[in-house]
Amino acid sequence: MELAATLLIATRLTPSVSAAIATIVVRGDSSLEVVEHCFCHPRSLGSLQVNDVRYGTWQSATASKSAEQVIVCRTRANELEIHCHGGAAICAMILNDLQQSGCTVLAPTDWPSESLDAIQRQAELDLAKAPTISVAAILLDQWRGALSRELHCITELLEQGNLFQSVERIKRLIELGTSIGARCRTQRVCFAGPPNVGKSSLLNACAGTTCAIVHHLPGTTRDAVEARLVLDGWPVNFTDTAGIRQTDEPIEREGIAIAQTTIANADLVIFVADATVGMTVELAELLATRTADAIVAWNKSDISTNPPPKLAIPVVATSAIAAPGIDELLQQIAKQLFSSQHQPGEPIPFRDSQVVWLKSILQQLEDRDSEAAVAMLQRGLE
């Protein structure tokens, strides 16, 4: 969004939900005069230095409300922050007063961050809604310019004709984006298998709550049931799916189709097997559909003498009732999803679209079109 440097703009930077404190920012050459129109304090805001704060009250010019206590901070020469109670009505009142005084009120997503390139602005937007500290740490590094600096370095190498080193560094970024950056979005783990093997009970045991319906009749789970949790500091979404079997029942067949789609889109699949039954042809066929990014939960192992099978993918003996193996299963899930390590400050693509973009640049370089690759890099950093 293009905005003139002299334009007066304002927005609420904090999420638009009720909270103890909210932050409203005003930017523009006359921001001091606009805020001072409603800010009650014996001293003029004109004497306020950058990074100084002033306590006072906000006397609305447009609403019949008593004065609200606020804190005004000057963050730069042409920018002020107003810290107030986080209630929706108070924030709306202040923004309305600013609008009546000549400010253009923007949505937070339209707020222009000065001195940031496109990658940093994306990190800033994602950082505001980071679900865990681990995700926020990665995004903060990129907001501070880690990925942008690496991309500028690669651009300079290409302009110097260093194709080999440029290719290697882009490949490294793609690897980091796939293994580490993907964690910035919630990882999708689904429980799959035949009916009545204990998928719903196992999901409930892993989540530590009752999320899925548990019943002894096959076909109970028709839709995908989800549970969100944090595992090793990263957001994970567990999904329970319908039992997969041959059936002519239309509603159950629809549930099985949803299950198959969920399996295909999952980052990790937990194939649940009934240890009291052992390996079956149906289970073997299901396992053949996913030879990587999968775990077998050898469930009901507390009441079975059948030993866990030796397979190409990890097998964990579990029981949703007696609880053996639940910690081991969670550890194995974390190992599968989060084994790759990274260093603080490392450049990491944090959106799937960035990885796709880098793969397109890599293809240009493999086609020996360095000029097109440089152009793509420069456009992506604007």
Domain positions in the chain: 9-110, 118-180+343-381, 184-338
Position 65 scores a pLDDT of 64
Stretch 215-241: mean pLDDT: 72
- Three-state SS sequence of 57-81: EECCCCCCCCCEEEEEEEEECCEEE
pLDDT digits 0-9 by tens, 171-181: 999 999 999 99
- Mean pLDDT value across the chain: 87
Give the containing element (helix H, strand E) for 1. Answer: none
Over 80: is that where the pLDDT of 325 sits?
yes
Digit-coded pLDDT (tens) for 240-260: 888 777 777 777 777 778 888
Which of the listed CATH numbers 3.30.1360.120, 3.90.550.10, 3.30.70.980, 3.30.230.10 matches domain 9-110?
3.30.1360.120
Q: Angle CA(340)–CA(177)–CA(272) in degrees, nearest 5?
A: 55
Given pLDDT bands bounded at 50, 70 and 90, which one contains residue 212?
very low
Helix (H) or strand (E) holding 10: strand 9-12
Beta strands in 243-351 (DSSP E): 268-274, 294-299, 315-317
pLDDT for res 258? 83
- Better-scored residue on pLDDT, 320 or 174: 174
Q: What's the pLDDT band for 220 if we cut at 50, 70, 90?
A: very low
Q: Which residues touch 298 (CB under 8 Å, ≥6 apart)? A: 273, 275, 308, 309, 315, 316, 317, 318, 325
pLDDT at 36 over 80: yes
**92, burial (CB in 10 Å: exposed 0-12, middle 13-18, buried 19+):** middle
Give the C-alpha separation, 39 to 74, whole Å.
13
Quote the pTM value: 0.68
What's the confidence (pLDDT) of residue 209?
58
pLDDT band for position 221 (50/70/90)? Answer: very low
pLDDT number for residue 251: 73
Across the range 39-63, mean pLDDT stands at: 86
Q: What is the pLDDT of residues 150-168, one digit of tens each?
A: 999 999 999 999 999 999 9
The predicted pLDDT at position 147 comes to 97
CATH number of the 184-338 domain: 3.40.50.300
Write down the pLDDT at residue 58: 92
Mean pLDDT of 17-44: 87
Structure tokens given for 214: 């548990």
Q: What is the pLDDT of residues 73-99, one digit of tens each?
A: 998 888 999 999 888 889 999 999 999
Quote the pLDDT of residue 289: 87
